[in-house]
């Protein structure tokens, strides 16, 4: 369980995190979603005590990270691929971290296997690709077999195999009852991995909700094609639907479901060439959400001087 | 592949200073820069001792005293090599973001920094002892060939160990300096200025202004106060206790702000 209360981080005049509250619960994969600069990485660094909050607090299992006696057993964090000395081998990097907690070499060997690093374990980190760096970071996060995992952009730089591996892996970790928080700016990835999503934009929480609800809340539309499209569109509007565009052979309908559209067309003797329900994607929901945020922010007098 | 289902490794009670020391020791011996700098220091020292033993004839002060001078003459530039080792030990962590991994594992931070200084100081001490005793031995053999007798008396042992202590102090100072400036290049520049440039400037000031204070200040510099540790008491510019006090002051100058700032800085 990770709990943030009134968390603020400013770097000089720039506000990276503007007072956020959230909880990350065990047993599910929680996604931090947001564009670059939304405050995801800053928040994650504050969780593990690398950055000090300007105001507010964040605790892991009831305590500040710094106050845990065995932090690697509480939280495993991948914050930066290749956060390792270039000149050290992967195995030695892990042994160095393990030594601080008296974690035996046997466990180092285990996480090397788990992360798929066996072939490169004795090569220097300086020669690693971004993908291997990510795997090393994941291995380091797993060293203490922690109940909480924090992974910042874990699929960044991974090949398709690696992406699938991370996805399966984090889902398995959550299924074991662990708390998993991962961030991504890739909405498709988040849709496939996370159960719950916290959307950040400009350092604020825009949404904190199960991912299914977020998508459902975005509404769906019906895509229609008909040779008598203009006539049908007028009929649908008369029955409470909205159409876009209002004329032509193809248009989208909102406010009526596919069944209602089909019945109305049949009743009027109009042939349909296509009738499809289109669910909104996480991406669409997210775009509209952050667009609102941007408009709202730029309308604020206090930010009038900014370039945005 | 399956998830990490293995139970938490049994019997690991968490972070302890002994464990952090072991971690820092592993860090030191698992990067090549440690061995390069050490090899360079040994090579420089061995060459110096050979040249000294071959070229410098013991004058009126006798074989032992001259051999002691020759055994410690390399320490002034070996100090820079050890300083580079110390600055790189922490500066390299900032440059590679290793520091984030390190401070995630040891979130209180100061134990990691202090442990690093201790292992660098220990490494430097052993290196210094190998250099001073090894040089003394080399010169003794060369002098023996010329029929000059050299003896390892109590005072000689004190001087040779003093040289090793000086290198340990420089190593610890350099780690603190590196932690303060967080960049290898800046740290090495400051260290070079302090060891080699400051004494020249103060000597020039003393000469130009006939200023007594500049001479005293010069004596208190890191390199000159450190030099007292490996100088025979009869020839030293100040008492051993005064030199040790000055060195403690130098350590405090970098370590007090380094520890205070490290606790609060974002990394």
The number of residues in chain A equals: 308
Decide: A145 and B7 in contact? Cβ < 8 Å: yes
Q: How far is B258 from chain A (nearest CA, A)?
A: 16
**Contact check, Cβ <8 Å, B6/A145:** yes
pLDDT at A208: 92
**Which of A82, A88, A175 faces B30 most closely, judged by CB atoms?**
A88
- H helical segments located in A48-102: 71-74, 90-99
CB contact under 8 A, B106 and A100: yes
Burial class (CB in 10 A: 0-12, 13-18, 19+), A276: exposed
Q: Where are the beta strands (DSSP E) in B129-264?
A: none
Neighboring chain A residues of B15 at a CB cutoff of 8 Å: 69-71, 100-101
What are the strands of the beta sheet with A55-60, ordered from one edge? A14-24, A2-11, A55-60
DSSP classification of residue A34: -
Tokens 């090569």: give the residue.
A123
Report, as an integer, the average pLDDT of A78-104: 93
Q: Give the Cα separation of B197 and B186 in Å (integer).
A: 15
For residue A138, the chain B residue with the least C-alpha distance is B4
Going by their DSSP bridges, the two strands A148-152 and A75-78 should be labelled as: parallel
**How many other CB atoms sit within 10 Å of the CB of residue B32?**
10
Q: How far is CA B7 from CA A110, A119, A287, in A?
A: 12, 25, 42
H or E element that contains A131: helix A130-142
Spell out a b/e string for B142-177, using b for 16 or more CB atoms within 10 Å of the CB, else e.
bbeeeebebeeeeebebbbbbbbbbbbbbbbbbbbb
Residue A304 pLDDT exceeds 60: no
Q: What is the mean pLDDT of residues A249-259?
A: 87
Cβ pair A82, A128 in contact under 8 A: yes
Handedness of CA A83, B257, B224, B65 (dihedral sign): negative
Alpha-carbon distance of B133 to B161, in angstroms, equals 8
Overall average pLDDT of the A187-201 stretch: 86
Neighbour count for residue A164 (Cβ, 10 Å): 13
- Nearest Cα neighbor of B71 from B163, B4, B2, B143 is B163
pLDDT computed for residue A296 by the predictor: 47
Non-local CB neighbours of A246 within 8 Å, separated by 6+ positions = A230, A233, A234, A237
Arithmetic mean of pLDDT, A146-150 = 94
Q: Residue A42: pLDDT above 90?
A: yes
Give per-residue pLDDT as tens, B184-193: 999 999 999 9
pLDDT at A214: 77
Q: Is beta strand A55-60 parallel, antiparallel or unpaired with respect to A2-11?
A: antiparallel
Q: Decide if A89 touches B, using CB distance below 8 A.
A: yes
Q: Do B22 and A99 touch (CB under 8 A)?
A: yes
Partner-chain contact A102 B13, CB within 8 Å? yes
**Pair B65, B231: CB distance under 8 Å:** no
Q: Cα A246 vs. chain centroid, distance in angstroms?
A: 36
Higher pLDDT, A305 or A157: A157
Query: In which residue are the tokens 């509007």 written?
Result: A237
CA-closest candidate to residue B182, choices B114, B82, B262, B256: B262
Of A52, A92, A142, the CB nearest to B4: A142
Whether residue A106 lies within 8 A of chain B, CB to CB, comes out as: yes
Domain boundaries defined on chain B:
16-264
Provide the pLDDT for residue A292.
59
Min Cα distance A152 → chain B (Å) is 13
Does residue A163 sit at the B interface (CB-CB below 8 Å)? no
Question: Counting Cβ atoms within 10 Å, is residue A112 exposed (0-12), middle (13-18) or buried (19+)?
Answer: buried
Q: Partners of A2 in the beta sheet?
A: A24, A60
CA atoms within 13 A on the CB side of B198: 17
Instruction: List the single best residue of B6, B7, B9 to mutate versus A (max A Cβ within 10 A).
Output: B9
Q: Looking at the predicted structure, is the pLDDT value of residue A291 above 80?
A: no
Q: What is the pLDDT along chain B (267 residues), one digit of tens a residue?
A: 444 444 444 446 789 999 999 999 999 999 998 999 999 999 999 999 999 988 888 877 788 889 999 999 999 999 999 999 999 999 999 999 999 999 999 999 999 999 999 999 999 999 999 999 999 999 999 998 888 888 888 889 999 999 999 999 999 999 999 999 999 999 999 999 999 999 999 989 888 888 888 888 889 999 999 999 999 888 888 999 999 999 999 999 999 999 999 998 998
Write down the pLDDT at residue A293: 55
Exposed / middle / buried, residue B122 (Cβ in 10 Å: 0-12, 13-18, 19+): middle
**A164 interfaces chain B, CB cutoff of 8 Å:** no
pLDDT for residue B114: 97
For residues A261-290, give the mean pLDDT: 83
Strand segments, DSSP code E, in B111-172 are none
Q: What is the pLDDT of residues A217-250, one digit of tens each?
A: 666 788 899 999 999 999 989 988 888 888 888 9
Question: CB under 8 Å to A274, separation ≥6 — which residues?
Answer: A223, A224, A225, A226, A250
Closest by alpha carbon to B86, among B26, B170, B175, B24? B175
- Nearest CB to A100 within list B11, B20, B96: B20
Whether residue A70 and residue B98 make contact (CB cut-off 8 A), yes or no, is no
**Beta-carbon contacts of residue B122 (< 8 Å; ≥ 6 apart):** B168
Mutate to test the interface with A, among B105, B111, B112 (most CBs of A within 10 A): B105
Could you tell me which of B195, B157, B193, B185 has the C-alpha nearest to residue B67? B157
Distance between CA atoms of A154 and A275, rounded to whole angstroms?
Answer: 39
pLDDT at A168 over 60: yes
Of B16, B96, B108, the CB nearest to A84: B96
C-alpha to C-alpha distances, B91 to A2, A212, A244, nearest whole angstrom: 32, 47, 60
Phi and psi (nearest 5°) for A57?
A: -150, 160
Please return the burial class of B267, using the count of CB atoms within 10 Å of its CB with bins 0-12, 13-18 and 19+.
Answer: middle
Residue B168 CA to residue B240 CA, distance in Å, equals: 16
Question: What distance in Å separates residue B193's CA from the closest CA in chain A?
Answer: 27
Tens of pLDDT, residue by residue over A63-77, are 999 999 999 999 999
* Nearest Cβ partner for A169 among B3, B13, B103: B3
| Rounded Cα–Cα distance for residues A28 and A86 (Å) | 34
Q: Do B104 and A80 touch (CB under 8 A)?
A: no
Q: Using the 8-state DSSP alphabet, how is residue B12 labeled?
A: -
- Measured between beta carbons, which residues in chain A are less than 8 angstroms from residue B27? 85, 88, 96
Can you tell me the distance from the alpha carbon of A8 to that of B127, in angstroms, rounded to the nearest whole number? 48
Is A231 an 8 Å CB contact of chain B? no
Any CB–CB contact under 8 A between A177 and chain B? no
Contacts of A100 in chain B (CB under 8 A): 15, 19-20, 23, 105-106, 112
Total Cβ atoms within 10 A of residue A187: 19
How do residues A21-33 score in pLDDT, each as one tens digit?
999 999 889 999 8
In DSSP terms, A200 is beta-bridged to A205
Model pLDDT, residue A294: 53
- Statement: the pTM of the whole predicted model exceeds 0.80: yes
pLDDT at A179 exceeding the cut of 70: yes
Largest CA distance in chain B: 78
- Gap between the Cα atoms of A187 and A85, Å rounded: 32
Per-residue confidence (pLDDT) for residue A284, from 0 to 100: 73
A307 pLDDT higher than 50: no
């Amino acid at each position: 369980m990770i709990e943030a209360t009134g968390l603020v981080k400013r770097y000089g005049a720039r506000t990276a995190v503007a007072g956020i509250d959230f909880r990350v619960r065990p047993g599910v994969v929680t996604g931090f979603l947001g564009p670059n600069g939304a405050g995801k990485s800053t928040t994650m660094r504050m969780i593990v005590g690398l950055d000090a909050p300007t105001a507010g607090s964040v605790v892991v299992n009831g305590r500040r990270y710094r106050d845990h006696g065995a932090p690697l057993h509480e939280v495993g964090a991948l914050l930066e691929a290749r956060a390792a000395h270039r000149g050290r081998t992967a195995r030695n990097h892990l042994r160095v971290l393990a030594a601080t907690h008296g974690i035996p070499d046997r466990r180092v060997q285990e996480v090397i296997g788990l992360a798929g690093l066996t072939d490169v374990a004795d090569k220097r980190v300086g020669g690693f690709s971004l993908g291997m760096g990510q795997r090393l970071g994941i291995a380091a996060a797993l060293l203490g077999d922690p109940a909480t995992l924090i992974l910042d952009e874990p699929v960044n730089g991974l090949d398709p195999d690696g992406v699938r591996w991370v996805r399966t892996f984090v889902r398995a970790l959550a299924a074991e009852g662990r708390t998993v928080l991962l961030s991504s700016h890739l909405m498709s990835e988040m849709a496939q991995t996370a159960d719950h999503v916290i959307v950040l934009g400009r350092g604020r929480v825009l949404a904190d909700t199960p991912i299914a609800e977020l998508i459902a809340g975005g509404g769906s539309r019906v895509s229609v094609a008909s040779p008598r499209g203009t006539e049908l569109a007028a009929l649908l509007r008369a029955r409470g639907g909205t159409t876009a565009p209002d004329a032509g052979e193809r248009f989208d309908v909102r406010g009526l479901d596919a069944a209602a559209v089909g019945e109305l067309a049949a009743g009027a003797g109009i042939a349909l060439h296509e009738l499809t329900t289109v669910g909104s994607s996480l991406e669409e929901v997210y775009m509209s959400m952050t667009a609102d945020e941007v408009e709202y922010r730029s309308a604020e007098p206090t930010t009038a001087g900014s370039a945005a | 592949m399956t998830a990490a289902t293995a139970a938490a490794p049994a019997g690991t009670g968490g972070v302890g200073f002994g464990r952090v020391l072991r971690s820092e020791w592993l860090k030191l011996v698992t990067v090549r820069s440690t061995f390069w700098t050490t090899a360079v220091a040994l090579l420089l020292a061995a060459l110096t001792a050979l040249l000294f033993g071959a070229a410098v004839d013991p004058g009126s002060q006798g074989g032992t005293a001259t051999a002691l001078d020759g055994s410690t003459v390399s320490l002034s530039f070996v100090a820079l090599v050890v300083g580079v080792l110390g600055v790189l030990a922490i500066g390299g962590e900032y440059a590679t973001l290793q520091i984030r991994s390190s401070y995630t594992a040891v979130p209180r931070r100061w134990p990691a920094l202090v442990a690093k200084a201790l292992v660098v100081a220990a490494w430097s001490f052993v290196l210094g002892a190998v250099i001073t005793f090894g040089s003394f031995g080399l010169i003794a053999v060369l002098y023996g060939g010329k029929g000059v007798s050299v003896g390892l008396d109590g005072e000689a042992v004190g001087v040779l160990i003093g040289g090793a202590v000086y290198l340990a102090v420089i190593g610890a100072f350099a780690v603190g300096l590196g932690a303060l400036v967080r960049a290898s290049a800046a740290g090495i520049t400051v260290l070079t200025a302090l060891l080699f440039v400051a004494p020249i400037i103060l000597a020039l000031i003393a000469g130009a202004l006939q200023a007594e204070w500049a001479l005293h200040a010069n004596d208190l510099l890191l390199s000159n106060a450190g030099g007292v540790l490996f100088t025979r008491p009869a020839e030293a510019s100040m008492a051993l206790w005064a030199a040790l006090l000055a060195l403690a002051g130098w350590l405090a100058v970098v370590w007090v702000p380094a520890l205070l700032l490290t606790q609060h800085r974002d990394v």
